[in-house]
Amino acid sequence: MLKIGITCYPSVGGSGIIATELGKMLAKQGHEVHFITSSVPFRLDLSDSNIYYHEVEMNHYPVFQYPPYDLALATKMAEVIDANKLDIIHAHYAVPHAICALLAKQMAKHPVRIVTTLHGTDITVLGIDSSMKKMIRFGIEESDAVTAVSKSLVNQTKEMIGVTKDIKVIYNFINEKEYVEKNETSLKQQYGIDSNEKVLIHISNFRKVKRVDDVVRAFNLVNKQVPSRLLLVGDGPEYNNIVELVQRLNLEEKVHFLGKQKNIPQLLSMADIKLLLSEKESFGLVLLEAMSCGVVCIGTNIGGIPEVIKNGETGYIEELGDIYSISNRIIWLLSDPNQMNKLKENASRYVKQNFSSQMILKDYELIYYKALGEE
């Protein structure tokens, strides 16, 4: 059994969820898992056996304008490596986490291997900055093993950052026990949704790249022809702009702003169609969550989305910003219950076959042993 340190952004977000759920599964397998983060990751239960949590404490020194979080993290990592004789540090994100892990590896006395997982934002946002590019390249090249969450992200990393290192694709996964379709008639009533109304849903952190405005505009066109509601789940920088757009389109009665929610499987179970119309998306974990709860997904032809939705078989892929095609697709789908049922069945089967958590757990374990030279 291995001793594994995990570093991620602990707040809500796909990468934090993947890192936490992976840590939980590794601990269940009998590995010793040490989370080294700035706060307890959302979804982590510290009473689970084999799970340890090491908080990166930040001192506020009056001389520094910005407290040096990265250095505090690297120091903590080195302490945890030595104190617990860690075999592996699994860094989620090249920058800053892989860089901190590399620094910690040099500081620590106990030998450790670094496995880095790329989730997208580090490449697609930071990779545009040429000074960061060097740092990302260094983080990737110097890691003992690197994974990325889609083929598209591997290609993008190679093109943008110019790395030659082998990067293994390990897709996102979900906790299958949690993401199952539930009977949500009472929740529908609670939101005042009539039984004849169709429900569309979008879940995100409302960053500009998520194109929530396209979701609202497509819904506006659908709503003119099909009695329907739109559930917007999450919060973030674009929230106010979206509220204003909904008001301008006179959709206040039809669009529900639910903010951040924990009962995602229940909310998904109320929905007929899930929209993810992003302009950047390395995978789209929310698509898996939706497909597993029997919701038909429509996504844009961007990044890793076409690796998750098989166009015409498990959902539909549309071009970025083409709200007319998107709304026509939705109207067409909603008018054909047989087609909807077929897509739902295909989607949940596809998730089980291609993104099974046990399969993905084994892939990560293989990567760890390979990094340790124990194939």
Query: Where along the sequence are the contacts to ligand GMT (CB under 6 A)?
Result: 13-15, 18, 119-121, 124, 149, 172, 205, 207, 209, 280-285
Q: Give every CB contact of residue 275 below 8 A, 6+ residues apart in sequence.
A: 200, 201, 202, 215, 218, 219, 297, 298, 299, 326
For residue 302, the number of C-alpha atoms closer than 13 Å in the C-beta half-sphere is 21
- Residue length, the chain? 375
124 vs 228, which CB is nearer to ligand GMT?
Answer: 124
CB of 266 to ligand GMT, least distance (A): 21
- 3-7 sheet: strands from edge to edge: 51-55, 32-37, 3-7, 88-92, 113-118, 145-148, 167-169
Rounded alpha-carbon distances, angstroms, from residue 268 to 9, 138, 232, 346:
25, 40, 11, 17
In what helix (H) or strand (E) does residue 261 lie, and over which residues does it extend?
A: none
**Separation between Cα atoms, residue 54 and residue 59, nearest integer Å:** 16
Question: CA–CA separation, 282 vs 210, rounded Å?
Answer: 12
Euclidean distance between the first and the last CA atom of the chain, given in angstroms as a whole number = 14
Q: Which is nearer to ligand GMT, 135 or 340 (CB)?
A: 135
List all residues 6 or more positions away from 88 whose beta carbon is below 8 Å from its beta carbon.
2, 3, 4, 5, 112, 113, 114, 115, 368, 371, 372
3-state secondary structure of 111: coil
**Taking the complex as a whole, how short is the minimal distance between the CB of residue 22 and ligand GMT, in angstroms?**
11
Nearer to ligand GMT, 110 or 310 (CB): 310
Q: How far is the CB of 238 from ligand GMT (least distance, A)?
A: 12
Shortest spacing between CB 373 and ligand GMT, in angstroms: 27
Q: Which is nearer to ligand GMT, 5 or 299 (CB)?
A: 299
Choice between 286 and 296, CB closer to ligand GMT? 286
Residue 365: count of CB within 10 angstroms of its CB? 16
From the CB of 189, what's the least distance to ligand GMT, in Å?
Answer: 32
